[in-house]
């Protein structure tokens, strides 16, 4: 089921600014019998991201009630989208905003249980835009283009670097590296989405937020991906078409440790 502004209808105005300009933000989260996992964190991040675009986030209780209305039984995925709604033609944000609020549920994807991934390094380089860095906004063409680089179903994810060759994230996940026994995760002040699972890991385990060049992947002892729906997964095999050699990573036990810390 999909709720648009609380109404069970799968339709948004064709002139919605979310469609016209990607003028909005979103959240994807895991639910258990309708109860959203890490809801406090997700709501806080949604509100911060909305504010970064000048949008006022709806009340927490309202969204929570709508998540329950769309709930699927067992483990599932929910998505919340907020857009600046319909406005006059042109880029200028309307003085009075009638937010569009979409709450929808979908089944947990079949691959969600996998914890050992084959991953590639994407050719696309993320543009550096400090004004939008960290925000989960609706301008996600870079993710689409990066994900379109491969169709082999054995490859689960792609690592992304920015125009300066700095590692940023994966297509749908944040990245952690083990290097010299130390856990690192890339700075997200120029691009990328700062996910809730990443924030929770940073609060739970010693980890250094650092500039990590793509080349340093060759020195990593292990690489992990974090995501609110799939938790902590590890890169078992890393393919790269360009500079980096193909690598296979044995399980050091860190994944289970990080997954436990996240839970």
Using rule CB under 8 A, residue 93 touches its own copies: yes
Distances (CA, A) of 77 to 41, 110, 112, 213: 16, 12, 10, 33
Using rule CB under 8 A, residue 11 touches its own copies: yes
**Region from 63-71, 132-140, 210-218, 230-238 binding its own copies, contact rule CB under 8 A:** 132-140
Choose, by CB under 8 A, the member of 17, 45, 234, 255 that binds its own copies.
17
User: What's the CA gap between 232 and 115, in Å, rounded?
Assistant: 7
**147-166 binders of its own copies (CB under 8 A):** 147-148, 151, 163
Using rule CB under 8 A, residue 18 touches its own copies: yes
Using rule CB under 8 A, residue 102 touches its own copies: yes
Choose, by CB under 8 A, the member of 2, 115, 179, 213 that binds its own copies.
2
What are residue 193's DSSP bridge partners? 134
What are 53's two structure tokens?
């675009």
Surface-to-core class of residue 236, CB atoms within 10 Å of its CB (0-12 exposed, 13-18 middle, 19+ buried): buried
CA-closest candidate to residue 263, choices 231, 233, 235, 234: 231
Asked if 214 contacts 206 with a C-beta cutoff of 8 angstroms, the reply is: no
Q: In the complex with its own copies, which residue's Cβ is closer, 85 or 258?
A: 85
Plot region of 45 (φ>0 → left; ψ -120 to 50 → alpha; else → beta)? alpha
Q: In the complex with its own copies, which residue's Cβ is closer, 26 or 38?
A: 26
Measure CA of the first residue to CA of the last residue in the chain; give whole Å. 28
Using rule CB under 8 A, residue 110 touches its own copies: no
Per-residue binding letters, 43-72, with its own copies (x by CB under 8 A): ----------xx------------------
Q: Which residues are near its own copies by CB under 8 A?
A: 2, 4, 10-23, 26, 53-54, 77, 79, 81, 83-84, 89-93, 95, 102, 104, 106, 109, 124, 126-129, 131-132, 137-148, 151, 163, 171-172, 191
């Amino acid at each position: 089921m999909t709720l648009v502004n609380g109404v069970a209808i799968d339709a948004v105005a064709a002139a919605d600014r979310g469609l016209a300009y990607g003028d909005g933000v979103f959240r994807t989260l895991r639910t258990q019998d309708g109860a959203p996992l890490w809801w406090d964190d997700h709501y806080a991040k949604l509100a911060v991201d909305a504010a970064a675009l000048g949008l006022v986030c709806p009340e927490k209780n309202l969204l929570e009630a709508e998540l329950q209305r769309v709930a699927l039984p067992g483990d599932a995925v929910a998505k919340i989208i907020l857009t600046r709604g319909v406005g006059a033609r042109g880029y200028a944000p309307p003085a009075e905003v009638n937010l569009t609020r979409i709450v929808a549920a979908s089944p947990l994807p079949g691959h969600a249980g996998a914890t050992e991934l084959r991953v590639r390094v994407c050719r696309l380089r993320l543009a550096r835009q400090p004004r939008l860095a960290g925000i989960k906004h609706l301008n996600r063409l870079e993710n689409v283009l990066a994900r379109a680089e491969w169709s082999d179903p054995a490859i689960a994810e792609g690592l992304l670097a920015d125009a300066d060759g700095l590692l940023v994230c994966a297509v749908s996940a944040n990245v952690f590296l083990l290097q010299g026994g130390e856990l690192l995760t890339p700075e997200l002040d120029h691009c990328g989405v700062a996910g809730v699972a990443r924030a929770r890991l940073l609060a739970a385990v010693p980890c250094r937020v650092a500039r990590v060049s793509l080349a340093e992947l060759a020195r990593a002892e292990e690489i992990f991906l974090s995501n609110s729906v799939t938790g902590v997964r590890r890169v078992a095999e890393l393919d790269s078409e360009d500079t980096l050699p193909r690598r296979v990573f044995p399980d050091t036990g860190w994944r289970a440790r990080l997954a436990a810390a996240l839970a």
